[in-house]
Amino acid sequence: MANLFFISDTHFGHHGILNFLKPDGTKLRDFSSVEEMDEHIIDRWNSVVRPSDHVYHLGDVAMKRVDIGTVSRCNGHKRLVRGNHDVYKTKDYLSYFDEIYGIRVLDNIIFTHIPVHPENMGRFKANAHGHIHANPSPEGNYINLSVEAIDYTPIALEDLKKRI
């Protein structure tokens, strides 16, 4: 039986992210090169995701169109919830993702790239999101799935539910 996983903000090929800092002033991603960063993310992803599993990527796959294809080296059947940096034509992503969404709701959890405003949580028991990297999520039932918050490793739906 296939498992369901989630991850966000891989930023494949993004050289600039290696210069970003966490709120405490330390490096957001402590890698010596973008190649090392990409390989680390791919290795962590493939350490838990099998080819038959399903993965929702909650946005910001890559900064440049040419780097979107890096996700093809990651196991699983992939679905994309677009992020603010996923700005290219849908056809550019469909070579690597089975489906593309703006948001997704599963098990009464709303999956988005950017955290939803608390007033918009409505009937949902939680918001799983990315976008904020190492910054804290809003108060309440928010779960940050940016790679920096989940040790660069996709999280299984069952483990995600335990965090709620």
pLDDT, one tens digit per residue, over 21-63 is 998 999 999 999 999 999 999 999 999 999 999 999 999 999 9
Residue range(s) defining the domain that contains residue 113 = 4-163
Number of domains in the chain: 1
Q: What's 115's domain CATH number?
A: 3.60.21.10
In this prediction the pTM is 0.96
One-letter-per-residue 3-state SS of the chain: CCCEEEEECCCECCHHHHHCECCCCCECCCCCCHHHHHHHHHHHHHHHCCCCCEEEECCCCECCHHHHHHHHHCCCEEEEECCCCCCCCHHHHHCCCCEEECCEEECCEEECCCCCCHHHCCCCCEEEECCCCCCCCCCCCEEECEHHHCCCCCEEHHHHHHHC
pLDDT, one tens digit per residue, over 119-156 is 888 889 999 999 999 998 998 899 999 999 999 999 99
